[in-house]
Amino acid sequence: MTFRNLFISSSLILVLAGCSKKTTEDTIVTPPVAPAVYSITEGFENSAKTAYAVGNFTAPTGSWTLDDALIGSTAPDLKNGTKSIRLRTGSVTMNFDVKGMTMLYIKHGKYGTDLSSTWQLMISSDEGKTYTQIGTDIIEDNTVLKLDSFKVAINTAVRFQIKKTGTARVNIDDITFKGTGDSGIITGVPDTNPVDTANNTTAAPPRNVVAGTDIQPVSGDNSNLLFGNPSNATMVDADNFLIDQHYYVESYSSKRGTPNWVSWHLDASNFNGATARLNNFAGFTGLPANAFMVQSNSYSGSGFDRGHNIPSADRTSSTNANSATFLMSNMIPQAPNNNQKTWADLENYLRAKVLEGNEVYIIMGSYGSGGVGSNSSASITTIAGGKVTVPSNIWKIAVIIPAGDNDLSRVSTTTRVIAVNTPNINSINTDWKKYRVSVRDIEKATGYDLLSILPKNIQDVIETTVDTSN
């Protein structure tokens, strides 16, 4: 493995430590919390581009441009998994920046029986306006994937480009960004259209879920209800009505006009960017008999967003998957800043954890009545003519485990579980970490039995612990 310095500082900073007199009382200084370390790998397993013509594709890490390059999956393609980039005479370019980087790792090798050739690694610190070559040309003569590492010694946000020289083809795979703090990688499309801004008087046609080949299994690993049914929802009780939406499972309250809770599994294949955010809000036809069907325009003018429980950006593997998240039976009246800032940041954080090599099981819900939206400072208890309850609190728990098999058996007393409970107000703090609680706190507030499938000795530890990790 070779190390290449991207930049060498021309100045030396000297830190001088002063002396001070010892006082009669020692001052206790709390050491600063070290920035979180991240490691995000783009393996192109969830990407598709089959022609050499220049074009963009969206991967979990963001948008990339391939010029005279494609996503290869044939036998001659060197790859870790099923796919890698096959680059001929053009370039591979990131269309996003990464902050706080310390190292860049790239796996590379010759394609098939092609001759040796060379490529260049380029870096930009001005959002891709200009690029500078890092070091010298890299000779590509590897018949198996080789891992090269590059030290990043620049403090600003950067993006990279791999530029080919010569006509022989090369494979590029597993580009890994390592650093500290906030990487800045947005792993999903922000909630850009949560409000019925047109104040439509005509609702969109209601619909059901169309299940594709990318749905989650009904049971076992990766199933949406793996950790149990928190409220013992059934298909009999209209106010605790169990609905398997194939891409997620929920308990729906006909009286409230919102979900009690929504449960789903998240891995990198779920948000691979195969489809764009659809914004096709619609009523759901599968509600209990005589239940009020919340329409796409039922929140219009209320001062509250059509707030997703399972986010749109968690299901971009197909139009069917993304459409399922836009059913109004997945929505709650959510204060705009709560939805678009605090919760959006938490959702992005969890997707970033997936890209670091994890999978996440998530349950989100709401309770109470009376939230403060953008129209006034007063608490509003219902909208849509009293048919939809505005919750006072919105909560979420996330069980984070390394990607793998036999998921339940791999949950232990040291497994990281994030539990968050926020007030549904527009003046909310944007830092979701300030609202961390224990799972037991949420259970007391809701009466639910969360993570009930786990052994009690494990529940007693992870449900009483308040997460403090960065």
Residue 1 has pLDDT above 80, yes or no: no
Q: Residues near 338 by Cβ (< 8 Å), separated by ≥ 6?
A: 307, 394, 422, 423, 424, 425, 426, 428
Stronger pLDDT, 39 or 109, i.e. the higher one? 109
Check residues 114 and 273 and name the one with the higher pLDDT: 114
pLDDT at residue 464 above 60? yes
- Report the half-sphere exposure of 183 (CA within 13 A, side-chain side): 27
Spatial separation of the C-alpha atoms in residues 122 and 150, rounded to whole Å = 11
The per-residue pLDDT for 23 is: 42
Q: For residue 28, what pLDDT band results from cuts at 50, 70 and 90?
A: low
pLDDT value for 32: 60
Q: What is the rounded distance in angstroms from the CA atom of residue 85 to the CA atom of residue 81?
A: 12
pLDDT digits (tens, 9 = 90+) for 145-203: 999 999 888 889 999 999 998 899 999 999 999 999 888 887 766 666 787 765 666 78
Percent of the chain with pLDDT over 90: 79
CA-to-CA distance for 37 and 232, rounded, in angstroms? Answer: 39
Label residue 5 by pLDDT band (50, 70, 90): very low
Contacts of 27 (CB under 8 A, 6+ apart): none
Distance CA(39)–CA(180), nearest Å, equals 9
* Whole-angstrom Cα Rg for the chain: 25
Q: Which pLDDT score is estimated for 21?
A: 40
Domain boundaries, the chain: 3-12+20-180, 241-462
pLDDT single digits (tens) 258-268: 999 999 999 99
Cα 232 from Cα 408, distance rounded (Å): 19
Does residue 470 have a pLDDT over 90?
Answer: no
Residue from 108, 246, 265, 308 carrying the catalytic annotation? 308
Dihedral angle, C-alpha 9, 11, 12, 18, nearest 10 °: -130
pLDDT, the chain, mean:
90
- pLDDT of res. 3: 43
56 in a labelled binding site: no
3-12+20-180 against 241-462: fold identical: no
Question: How much is the pLDDT for 29?
Answer: 55
d(CA 179, CA 103): 7
Catalytic: 108?
no
Separation of first and last alpha carbons in the chain? 30
Res 181: pLDDT: 87
Q: How far apart are CA 7 and CA 454, in angstroms?
A: 50
Q: What superfamily does domain 3-12+20-180 belong to in CATH?
A: Galactose-binding domain-like (2.60.120.260)
Of residues 451 and 15, the one with the higher pLDDT is 451
**Pairing of the two strands 249-253 and 241-244:** antiparallel
Report the candidate in 411, 213, 429, 188 with the shortest Cα–Cα distance to residue 316: 188
Average pLDDT of the residues in 30-55: 83
Burial (CB count within 10 angstroms: exposed 0-12, middle 13-18, buried 19+), residue 190 = middle
Q: Does domain 241-462 have CATH number 3.40.50.150?
A: no
3-state secondary structure string across the chain? CCEEECCCCCCCCCCCCCCCCCCCCCCCCCCCCCCCEEEEEECCCCCCCCCCCCEEEEECCEEEEEEEEEEECCCCCCCCCCCEEEEEEEEEEECCCECCEEEEEEEEEECCCCCCEEEEEEEECCCCCCCEECCCCEEECCCCCEEEEEECCCCCCEEEEEEEECCCCEEEEEEEEEEECCCCCCCCCCCCCCCCCCCCCCCCCCECCCCCCCCCCCCCCCCCCCCCCCCCCECCCCCCEEEECCCCEEEEECCCCEEEEEEEEECHHHHCCCCCCCCCCECECCCCCCCCCCCCCCCCCCCCEEEECCCHHHCCCCHHHHHHHCEHHHEEEECHHHHHHHHHHHHHHHHHHHHCCEEEEEEEEEECCCEECCCCCCCECEECCCCEECCCEEEEEEEEEECCCCCHHHCCCCCEEEEEEEECECCCCCCHHHHECCHHHHHHHHCCCCCCCCCHHHHHHHCCCCCCCC
Q: How many CB atoms lie within 10 A of CB 224?
A: 26
pLDDT digits (tens, 9 = 90+) for 337-391: 999 999 999 999 999 999 999 999 999 999 999 999 999 899 999 999 999 999 9
Q: Which amino acid is at 389?
A: T
**pLDDT digits 0-9 by tens, 88-103:** 999 999 999 999 999 9
pTM for this predicted structure: 0.81
> Which pLDDT belongs to residue 15?
35
Task: Determine contact, residues 218/338, Cβ cutoff 8 Å.
Answer: no
Tell me what the mean pLDDT of segment 439-454 comes to. 98
- Summarised one tens digit per residue, pLDDT across range 304-337 is 999 999 999 999 999 999 999 999 999 999 999 9
d(CA 221, CA 219): 7
Q: Which tokens is 338 given? A: 């709560």
